[in-house]
Amino acid sequence: MMQLAQPLNFIGFVYREIKQALVDMETMYSLLRVEQEVTDPPGAPALKVSGGRVAFECVGFGYSPDRPILKDVTFAIEPGQTVAVVGSSGAGKSTLSRLLFRFYDVDEGAVRLDGQDIRDVSQTSLRAAIGIVPQDTVLFNDTLAYNIAYGRPEATRAEIEEAARIASLDAFVESLPQRYETTVGERGLKLSGGEKQRVAIARMVLKRPAIIVFDEATSALDSKTEQEILAALRAVSQGRTTLVIAHRLSTIVDADEIVVLDAGRIAERGTHNELLARDRLYAAMWRRQAEGAELNGQRVVAEEAS
Ligand code: ATP
């Protein structure tokens, strides 16, 4: 019986490993949302990154032809600068980041990176140049070290720990009994939204992309976590071209430019102070959010008092 048990155990082990590999592939697939329609032109050259200038030029796009989402969108992010895109839910903010990563091709106009139309270069080289901190980071059923190093498997432990430190993840990891060997993901320790975003930021520190896209979580994080994430993001985006898809205006007051999207069109643009002075859409959004924050604050005070 013992003789039979061992091979059976082994088969069970292989089965679990294969199943996990398939789950990982599925996760990757959904992460990259590989679209059949986006293809490399034959012999597509690699993207040549010089400064990391991103330009959306007269971009028109719809997921289906009968429903245009973005209309005549033109703006640029100069090398090393930060541009934030704001607008109501469904305005097309995240769609911009999907177009930059070339999950879809534009219907009109072009997206250029350092002057090159992103349709003319290989997708691998394009995606190697861009790091995304998505709203909801997918973690693999593996250790924290594996998850942080994902994309740079040759990273040393010292590099992983340094990345975690820059991403303000180190104190959290130190609090875990198995530290970087802790299994996370669906079958391990479940991380909070803020912790997952910090894992994504740590990944980016190791990837060192020229361009960063930060898709801010829709659901509000507590203000301490939000501040930690912002500080971490500031550290990695230093000197890198950064596109922030923002939901909370308080997080983007320092952006070099803020682009306000309204129903797929750029309604206004400028710095935080310029837009407040203009007293139109952005100023109204700012007042609404400030009132909301004040109300929340009052509720917290009331709860603490009771
Ligand atoms: P939010 O602030 O809620 O995240 P958003 O401004 O980022 O919104 P997008 O995610 O860019 O909005 O979506 C813009 C519009 O495109 C929405 O009306 C949405 O329903 C639609 N849309 C998004 N993804 C797809 C898709 N894969 N297929 C079809 N329509 C889509």
At 243 the three-state DSSP class reads: strand
Buried b (16+ CB within 10 A) or exposed e, 29-58: eeeeeeeeeeebeeebeebebeebbbbbbe
Residue of 69, 86, 259, 265 with the most ligand 1 atoms within 8 Å of its CB, for mutation:
69
Distances (CA, A) of 292 to 78, 91, 289, 297: 33, 21, 5, 8
Cα–Cα nearest to 41, from 143, 122, 147 = 122
Q: What is the per-residue pLDDT across 22-61, written as a single tens digit (0 to 9) for each?
A: 555 545 545 554 444 788 888 999 999 999 999 999 999 9
Question: Residue 24: its pLDDT value, please?
Answer: 52
Provide mean pLDDT across the span 263-289.
Answer: 94
Q: How far apart are CA 172 and CA 179, in angstroms?
A: 9
Are the CB atoms for 97 and 83 separated by under 8 Å? no
Residue 188's pLDDT is: 83
| Helix (H/G/I), strand (E/B), else coil: 177 | coil
Return d(Cα 70, Cα 122) in angstroms, integer. Answer: 24
The amino acid occupying position 220 is A
Q: What is the pLDDT of residue 10?
A: 55
> What residues are in contact with ligand 1 under a 6 Å CB criterion?
63, 69, 87, 89-95, 218
The alpha carbon torsion through 77, 83, 87, 89 (nearest 10 deg) reads: 90
What distance in Å separates the CA atoms of residue 229 and residue 219, rounded to the nearest whole number? 14
pLDDT tens figures, 260-269: 999 999 999 9
The helix/strand/coil state of 50 is coil
pTM: 0.82
Reported ipTM exceeds the 0.95 cut: yes
Q: Whose CA is nearest to atom 30 of ligand 1?
A: 63
| 227 or 197, which is more confident | 197
Q: How far apart are CA 62 and CA 65, in angstroms?
A: 6
Q: Which distant-in-sequence residues (6+ apart) come within 8 Å of 305 by Cβ?
A: none
Residue 96 CA to ligand 1 center (angstroms) comes to 10
Where does residue 35 fall: left (phi above 0), alpha (psi -120 to 50 degrees), or beta otherwise? beta
- 163-183 pLDDT, tens digit each: 999 888 989 999 999 999 999
Higher pLDDT, 301 or 6: 6
